[in-house]
Structure 1
């Protein structure tokens, strides 16, 4: 039981410290201008997922009307 509580407390400390590190990393990226690259990559990924979902929806609709 002690092993699990130690692991849980370590995980909790890691989760608590992540926002501070993320904020520091974001400010570094903003100052270097790399944040725009990150935003562009994320937007491209989300656009690809959205396009794929639209494609699947049309394909499913076509199969439903075929029956």
Structure 2
């Protein structure tokens, strides 16, 4: 009887751990504002610099 209770407790703890992992997987990440949860690194993209670099490369190819 005691062995069955111990096995049940171990099984219940394992099931709770797996459920917690699944819930954490589907919960949105904190911070960043984007789905990747990178902490806001996406907002540091400088589109003007990218545009200038592309224009500079296109003028070199001409």
TM over 0.5: no
TM-score, normalised with respect to structure 1: 0.41
Higher helix share: 1
Answer with 1 or 2: which has the greater Rg. 2
TM-score, normalised with respect to structure 2: 0.44
